[in-house]
Each structure stands twice: as structure tokens, then as C-alpha cells.
Structure 1
Amino acid sequence: MTETPAAPLSPPGNDDLAELLGHMTSRWDDERRQLARQLHDSLGSSMTALSMHLGLLAKKLPDDQALQDRSAQMKQLLMNIINTNRDMQLALWNDKLEFLGIKAALDEAVSEFGKAHPGLAAQVSLPDDEAAYSREQNVTLLRCAEEGMQNVARHAHASRVDVILDDDGEQIMLTIIDDGVGPGDADLGMLDHHGLRMLQARARHLGGAVAFGPAPEGGAMLRMTLPLAAPKQAA
């Protein structure tokens, strides 16, 4: 029997690639969330139990300085593991995003960024009301803020960065603006860079867009705009 050769697949267009990339980032977010939850529920609870047991054992030790010192070292080592586990969980998934919403998550992200970059004043401006955005919208907005702030720290030579979240009832706008050197002609192609291309794909997957360019009063501005009602394929 003669086999009919399979028809070759047409190469995907730019819209198809953007949709695929947006779908993949959404799945990656789900995997990061699940891994963070596993670290919390399994490793985190085990480490906490070990810390309690070690504390009880330390009270039973004889009055021997060498044993007391070794117990203190073990307790410190265990605390380092617990803190590392918490840092890994936060790097994978911000629980505040899920339980307290985008405002709390952005507030924490900007605060932690400011602590990590003491020479860079980081401020956040948030709407008064807690908007009911979808989880995928919240994750996309948080990733945009994180990427934008990291780009400011790496490239802008700025003394201040502002993260501004707002919506007008129809679309959500997240703006990261700095007072640095501003983008040159070469920098205006920043959306070709991998991090910002990923943001662009995330935004397009949700029916939105990302823009990068000079800020009105100097420096640079990164803005993500998302429709308040996410498209059906992103729901």
C-alpha cells in the first residue's frame, strides 16, 4: 500500500509565535507556583519540625560547652536552610500575589528592590481600590514590574524609579519610569531583548501591549497595557 506523504506544517507567523510563547509562559508560571507550594508544604514544614526537635534536644544536653556550641551551630545551619528555602519559594512564586492581590505583591516587590539597591529610591503608586484582575493578569503585571526594575538597576544609572499601577475601567496600565540617562537610539530596540520580548509575548497573549521609550521628563519609561477583560483564549 502506498503511503501518502504527510503535508508539511506551515511555518508559524509572528502572531502564532507570540500566542505560543504567551501560552508557554503561563504554563511555566503554573509550574513555578506548584513547585513553590511543594517547597512550602514538604521541605518547609519538615525544617520547622526539625528546628523544634533540635530546640528540645538542646535543653537536654549536659552542661558541656563543646556540646552547647555544636548545638548552636546546628541550629544556625538549620535556620540558614529554612531562610534559603523561603527565598527560593519567593523567587518562584509570590504568595502575596495569590492571597492578598497585585497591590500587596507590587508593594513588597518594590520595597525589596529598594532594600537591595540602597542608592536607588524605589517608589510605588497604587490605586485606592483592590481591582479584581485575573491571576494571569496579576502574574504578568508583577513580572513586568520585576523586569522593568531590574533593567533600571542594570542600565539606567538612575537615582529613582517609580512603579505606577492604574486602570481606567477598560484597561490596566503598569508604568515603570526612572530618572536615569534615558534610552539612546540603540536602546529603543530594547523590545528585541529577551526579557522584554517575553513581556511583550505575555501582554499580547492577554490582548495587550508593551511600549518602551524616553520618559516625558527624562529617563526611560516602560509601560504595559492590558485590557481589563482578558480575551477568551487567555482565561
Structure 2
Amino acid sequence: MASGDLDARCTAESSDELGRLAARVNVMAERLGDSTASLRESERKYRGIIENSLEGIFVLDRCGALREANPAMARLLGFDSVDSLMAAQAAPSSSQDAKRLPLSDDEVARLFALLEAEGKIAGLEVEITRTDGTTAWCLLNARDTRRRGVSAALLEGQLTDVTARKHAMETLTQHRDQLEQQIRERERTEAELRDSREKLRQLSAHQESIREEERKQMAMTIHDELGQLLTAIKIDVSLLRLLLSQGTGWTGKLAEMGELVERTIHIVRNVASHLRPAALNFGLVSALEWLMQDYSRHSAITCQFRLEGREPTLSDDHATAVFRIVQEALTNVSRHAQASHVDVVLHGGDEGFDVTVNDDGIGFDVTRAMEGGSYGLQGMRERARMIGAQLQVTSENDVGSTVRLSIRDIAEKPNPFVWSDEGR
């Protein structure tokens, strides 16, 4: 029995004390056999659970070496079997297999420190190294094997591979961040769109008010000056008819009528020029030269125009837009720049042309003017956008300002609203 043969029995030949002792030893042997069989069955069940578990179950010492592991742990670390894993753990220190430890020395020390402080580890995310050098993320649940008052020597743990879940969470987080960024970008774009719509509405209202003011000025000019002159001519014609009938004093009256007619013609030409300069019919250069002359007559600022290169060939709409932009720039110089001199330069080439308006005034804050609703600058920018040009405005305090209009592609696109004789 002492050697492990629990089937052996004592022979009871008497009923004395030795006989009764032998009977009791036999009963003890039977019970011990039953306990051993139960223990073996429990061990078999426990071993089956460990062997068939999908989680890696292991025992780790303070040196970071695995003392025990189940097949799932071996597969998690990249080994074919537990034997190959243990062989790698038992390899000499000079071997490459010695580097195939699941955790670094610092991580092992941290885990044992947590065990000593809290007595267990629950749901700790750790990064382990596989035999091929790749890493995997796992959730660790562990407890120590120490007795009371003795430091933990071994760590019994269970690892659950959450690499796919972690990558999925990272991907989900990236998608969430991208979605949030897209939402912020969309909100910013919508805000800019609302702001642009508001500025466009204000610009349209301002342009409409300008048109109404121009109509008012033209109506007053025609009514007050042209109407009076025409009335005076009508009266003079009546007087001339009377004088002619009398045969006296008609020569002086004819001279007065000629002067009234000349003034009327001059007013009509001024009104027509403000509506659309006739010089535009002869090209952009002629229109800009006329604008410089008219600007010099009505302003104390010295204005010079210079053509560099060749004159660009533009459609009527493009030439009008360029003319109005230069006109608005000169108007701004007169109103705000306090300048003494302004230069307008048209530089034409094979690939396009530039128009520059440069003054020596006090300058201004371009950004603040645009944000503050400068309708003049907004109108210039809108005209430039309509003809596909680039408008750049720069300014420096006490130095002056520069407005540059650049068109690189001056090829004309067909107007979809122009009727042709073909297919009509």
C-alpha cells in the first residue's frame, strides 16, 4: 500500500487488536482508492477543460518564462504545439528561441507588482510578442500563487486575443474621427455658404441701389438740364418764327439757339458716356485712355496710363468688366486713398494680360475691408469672377495700394443666349 498498490489487502486471522487493525487498514485502503480515482477523474476533466479552452492559459514566473501553457496559448504565441513552445522556453540563452518570450522584462515586473498590490489582475490590456516577431493585443486575467506573507513566485493567467477587436475599434475610431471632421467641414462650408449668400444679397441690394441712384441722376439730368434746354429751344424757335415773320433781329437769336443745341448735345453725350463709354467700341486701350482723361478732368490726382506689350483682344462683355473694375478702383482712390498720383498699367502677352492700378495713398486694411462689407471691393471681385479673372488687392499703410487683375486664358466661350441664323 505504501508503494501505491491500493488493491492490496491485509489478512485478518484473528479478532484481536491486530485483526481489527488489519480490517481498518483495508477499509482505509478502499476509501483511499475511491478518493484517488475521484481525484484522477477530476484531474482528467480539468485537463480536458484546459486543453480544449479557446483562451490561452499559462503559468508565468518572475523571469518572464512560461512554466505551463495550454494549446491555445501556444497557438496565440505562434507555435504549433505546447511542446515546441516549452522547447523554445528551455533553449539556451544564446539561442534565438530565448527571445521568444511573450512579455518584456518591464511588463513582467509590472504584472507582478500589480499582483502584490491588488492580489489579482482583471481585464488588463497587454501587448504580447509572437514567435514571428508580430504583436497581438490580449486581455489578461490573472492571480498569484503566493501564500499569506510570501511574495508571489508564479502568475497564473488567462489571455484572450482581442487584436481583431482592437483593430476594428481603431478603424471605427478613425471612421468616427473622419466623420466628425467631415461634419465640421460641412458645417464650416454651410456657414461660408450662408455668409456668401448674405454678402451676395447685400451686394445685389447695393448694386440695385447704385443702379437706382444712376437712374435718378440721369432722370434729373435729362429733366432739369436737357428738358430746360429743349424748352428754351422751343421758345426760341417760336420767337424765331415771329422774328422771321417781322423780318428783324433773327441773327442773334439763331446764335443763341446754336449754343443751346451744342449744350444739349454735350449733355446727351455725357449721359451716354456714363451709361457706356463710346470708347469701348474701339477697344480696351482706347476706353482706358478715355477713362484716364475723364478722371484727370474731374480729380486733382495725377493719373497716367501705360500699355506694355500688345493690346488684348476681348469680347464686349470682358472689356466692359475690365473697364468697370478699373473705374471702381479709381473711384476708391478718389474717395479714400488721399493719393497724389495713380498709375494704370496694361500688360498684354500671348498667354493673357494684367491690369494694375497703383496709387501712393495712405493704404488700408484689405481683410478688414472685405469682412466689413466693402461693396466696391466685392463688386470688383464679382466682376472678375464672372470673366474668369484673378483679382488681387494689396495695401500698406502710408505706402499705397495696388489692384491687380489677371486673365491668363482669354479664349472666349460661346454665349448660350446668343441667337444664330443656323438652326433657327
Under a length normalisation based on structure 2, what TM-score does the superposition of the two structures give? Answer: 0.39
Partner of 2:286: 104
What is the RMSD computed on CA atoms of the aligned residues? 4.1
| 2:363 maps to amino acid | G
**1:206–1:230 CA contact under 8 A, matched in 2:** no
For residues 234 and 222 of structure 1, the distance between their equivalents in structure 2, rounded to whole angstroms, comes to 28
**Bigger CA drift: 204-213 or 84-93?**
204-213
| 1:89 maps to amino acid | A
Residue identity over aligned pairs, in percent, reads: 25
Change (3 A) 1:164 1:133: same
Query: Which residue, 206, 209, 227 being the options, matches 2:408?
Result: 227
Query: Which residue, 270, 277, 300 being the options, matches 1:94?
Result: 277
**Bigger CA drift: 220-229 or 86-95?**
220-229
**Residue 358 of structure 2 aligns to a residue in which SS?**
strand
Relative contact order (C-alpha < 8 Å, sep 6+): which is higher?
Answer: 1
Partner of 1:163: 344
Change (3 A) 1:231 1:63: closer
Change (3 A) 1:84 1:102: same
Query: Which residue, 114, 132, 140 being the options, matches 2:296?
Result: 114
Partner of 2:30: none
| 1:155 maps to amino acid | H
| 1:190 maps to amino acid | A
CA deviation vs aligned residue, 1:96-115 (integer Å, no higher than 9, x gap): 212x2101110111111112
**2:354–2:406 CA contact under 8 A, matched in 1:** yes
**1:188–1:212 CA contact under 8 A, matched in 2:** no
Partner of 2:247: 62
Aligned-residue offset at 1:77: 2.2
For residues 180 and 63 of structure 1, the distance between their equivalents in structure 2, rounded to whole angstroms, comes to 61
1:5-20 pair list within 5 angstroms? 13=193, 14=196
| 2:406 maps to amino acid | T
Change (3 A) 1:223 1:190: farther
For residues 209 and 224 of structure 1, the distance between their equivalents in structure 2, rounded to whole angstroms, comes to 6
**Residue 127 of structure 1 aligns to a residue in which SS?**
strand
Query: Is the counterpart of residue 174 in structure 1 residue 355 in structure 2?
Result: yes
For residues 275 and 321 of structure 2, the distance between their equivalents in structure 1, rounded to whole angstroms, comes to 14
| 1:201 maps to amino acid | E
For residues 69 and 230 of structure 1, the distance between their equivalents in structure 2, rounded to whole angstroms, comes to 58
Aligned-residue offset at 1:234: 6.7
Aligned-residue offset at 1:189: 3.4
For residues 122 and 151 of structure 1, the distance between their equivalents in structure 2, rounded to whole angstroms, comes to 14
Change (3 A) 1:68 1:231: closer
Query: Which residue, 370, 373, 379 being the options, matches 1:198?
Result: 379
Query: Is the counterpart of residue 126 in structure 1 residue 307 in structure 2?
Result: yes
For residues 169 and 103 of structure 1, the distance between their equivalents in structure 2, rounded to whole angstroms, comes to 17
For residues 140 and 215 of structure 1, the distance between their equivalents in structure 2, rounded to whole angstroms, comes to 26
**2:354–2:407 CA contact under 8 A, matched in 1:** yes
Greater Rg over alpha carbons, structure = 2
CA deviation vs aligned residue, 1:64-123 (integer Å, no higher than 9, x gap): 2xx54444333322222111100011111122212x210111011111111211x31100
Aligned-residue offset at 1:232: 3.9
Query: Is the counterpart of residue 152 in structure 1 residue 337 in structure 2?
Result: no
Change (3 A) 1:125 1:233: same
For residues 200 and 168 of structure 1, the distance between their equivalents in structure 2, rounded to whole angstroms, comes to 23
Change (3 A) 1:189 1:166: farther
CA deviation vs aligned residue, 1:120-169 (integer Å, no higher than 9, x gap): 11000113423212222211111111111111111111110001111343
Change (3 A) 1:215 1:129: farther
For residues 115 and 134 of structure 1, the distance between their equivalents in structure 2, rounded to whole angstroms, comes to 28
Structure 1 unaligned segments of length 5 or more: list them: 1-11, 26-42
**1:188–1:213 CA contact under 8 A, matched in 2:** no
**Residue 345 of structure 2 aligns to a residue in which SS?**
strand
**Residue 305 of structure 2 aligns to a residue in which SS?**
strand
Query: Which residue, 342, 346, 368 being the options, matches 1:189?
Result: 368
Change (3 A) 1:89 1:74: same
For residues 212 and 195 of structure 1, the distance between their equivalents in structure 2, rounded to whole angstroms, comes to 12
For residues 409 and 367 of structure 2, the distance between their equivalents in structure 1, rounded to whole angstroms, comes to 27
Count of aligned residue pairs for this structure pair:
195
For residues 165 and 76 of structure 1, the distance between their equivalents in structure 2, rounded to whole angstroms, comes to 39
